Each structure stands twice: as C-alpha cells, then as structure tokens.
Amino acid sequence: MIEGVSKGTAVVTGASSGVGACYAEQLAERGYDVIMIARNRARMNTLASQLTDKTGRSFEVVQADLARLAGVQSVESLLRSDSSITMLVNNAGIGAAAPMLESDTSLISPIIAVNLAALTRFTRAVAPAFASRGTGTIIQVATVANDRPECKNGMCEAIAAYVLAYSRSLHQDFSDQGIRLQVVLPESKYRRFLQVTDHEAVRGRVSYATAAENMVRTALAGLDHGEFVSMASSR
C-alpha cells in the first residue's frame, strides 16, 4: 500500500539497481520522496520514471562518482543544504574480487573511498541537521562475509567492522536527540557492486532481485521496531 502522507525526502546512495533500488521503491511506498544517487544516470532515470508512475512520489536523480572527491563533496553539499531530507541510506559499495595481497593496489583507494570515507562523510554531513530538528533516520548498509570470491580477502569483514563500530558510537551520541540509526548487514551477494539485476527465477531458490526486495523489507520492518543491527534475511 502506498502511503499518502509525505515523510520528507530519503537520500539513497548506490540507488541505480540492487538493494539501493529496492530501498528507493519501498521508501517511496512508505511516503518518502527520494533522491537517488549513483554513477549510472541512465539507469536511475529509467527507474525513477517507473517508480514515479508506480508510487506517485517525487524522484530526483543525482549522478555522482563517490570514488572521486568532487562526487562526494557534491553529495555532502546536498545533505547539508536540503532541509526536506529526513532519511539517509548509505548503501553505495564496491568490492574487490581478488585476494588482498594479489589485488591491484590502485583498486584499494576506491574501495575505501566509497565503502568507508563516503559513508562517514555523508553521515557527518546530515547528522547535525537531524539532531537540531530532533528527528531523522540514518541507515548504514554494510555487508557480511560468505563464500563468494569478493569476500575471501578480508575486505567484507573489515568494512562491516568499521561501519558497525562507527555507527554504534553515533548511536550513543545521538540516540537521545531523535535520530534513528540502523546498521544493515546483508549477505554480500545482494549488494550493488555485484550488479543485482537478475529478475528471473533461479531454480531451487529465490532470485537475487526478489531476495534483495525481501532483505530490504525485513530491514525496514526491523527499523520500525527500533532494531539497531539488522542481519537482514533474504527470505
């Protein structure tokens, strides 16, 4: 059911597909207008058009490469200046498929920039405004390790540990100022960096697209009940 009362604007990073696209859709259905942020403008434009027709909410597309300082700064400026923003979903993420000691060292900086630095800077950009208004929601989407190649190099564990520790500190600092904060730890295969666009049924198990939808629905239900950490299930 699409809710008619506006809940403000939700900013979703990594919103062009996968988990980010599911957050954009489900938050719109809950009554939020949505600002979608990702590198792929064409994909976001297509999705925004579809979701506007489906939900009746307003969608804005912002193209930004979060591995580059200019992209991060443009999003920071948006978060600080737009008083309609009531939710931030830090979902953007990239991963490295090779073992850490075998990885091209030029690939390490973008991983840190997107998965850690951008998340930290965006949180710092929006939290003071939320605190001053006494309301606001921040969702940090990390990942947990599994047996897939991109999680065999320690990066998933390290990223999740940082996001969890950083968010726990924020939770302690801002919980009495009206800010809701949730850390979502889905399996890595449902993250944006694996191009989760498979809408076909997978024999014997749910498709990646349906699993991502279920995962986001589970996480948002946990948020409704005050859950700080969501080990969001795909079922």
- Sorted by where each begins, the domain ranges of the chain are 9-230
pLDDT of residue 183: 95
Q: Helix axis angle, 155-174 relative to 119-133, nearest 10°?
A: 20
pLDDT of residue 55: 96
Cα–Cα separations (whole angstroms), residue 136 to 66, 127, 226? 23, 8, 13
Below-50 pLDDT ranges, the chain: 1, 101, 147, 192-205
pLDDT of residue 223: 96
Q: For residues 160 and 187, is the Cβ–Cβ distance under 8 A?
A: no
DSSP string across 72-131: HHHHHHHHHH-TTEEEEEE-------S-GGGS-GGGHHHHHIIIIIIHHHHHHHHHHHHH
pLDDT of residue 196: 32
pTM given for the model? 0.86
pLDDT of residue 148: 54
In what order do the strands lie in the sheet containing 59-63? 59-63, 33-38, 9-13, 85-90, 136-141, 179-184, 229-230
Query: What CATH class has 9-230?
Result: alpha beta
pLDDT of residue 62: 98
The two tokens of residue 163 are: 């996001």
pLDDT of residue 198: 34
Q: Dump pLDDT digits (tens) for 87-143.
A: 999 999 886 555 554 556 677 888 889 999 999 999 999 999 999 999 999 999 987
